[in-house]
Homo-oligomer: A and B are copies of this chain.
């Protein structure tokens, strides 16, 4: 239904704006690092190690951009580059202890922001909203 699609456009626009995603050097949670770096940190925290090329796919960035982001994270002392064991070309990324701590702080900040948001959603709706968001992501993702 076309009216449904335009309502979605609306809703997505508003969501993006409300989230404050246009600010380049600050995450939506207020942490003073770029959003992409935060996402990279998140991916690394979830898995312990990650191939850099995998990060390229997950962040949907160019390999050059990804390389720079990793350099930034390394400069902050949060990740270490190591040669990939099974492929001489590859780079294996690993979180340092400081990086793990930073990831935890970031998670806490997000917790604060999204936790507060969740409090404004009726408890019985939360599961539905989360499910909807996941569904929507899958739907948008699939090219």
Contact = CB atoms under 8 A, between A and B. Distances in A.
Interface of A: 2, 4-9, 11-22, 28, 35-36, 39, 42, 58-61, 107, 110-111, 113-118, 120-121, 125-126, 128-143
A114 B8 contact: yes
A5 B115 CA distance: 5
Given A9-B111, A17-B60, A21-B21, A133 B130 contact: no
Contacts of A115: 2, 5
A81 B54 CA distance: 47
A114 B4 CA distance: 9
Q: 9 closest A-B pairs (Cβ-Cβ)?
A: A132-B132, A18-B141, A117-B139, A129-B132, A120-B139, A15-B137, A11-B133, A5-B115, A9-B110
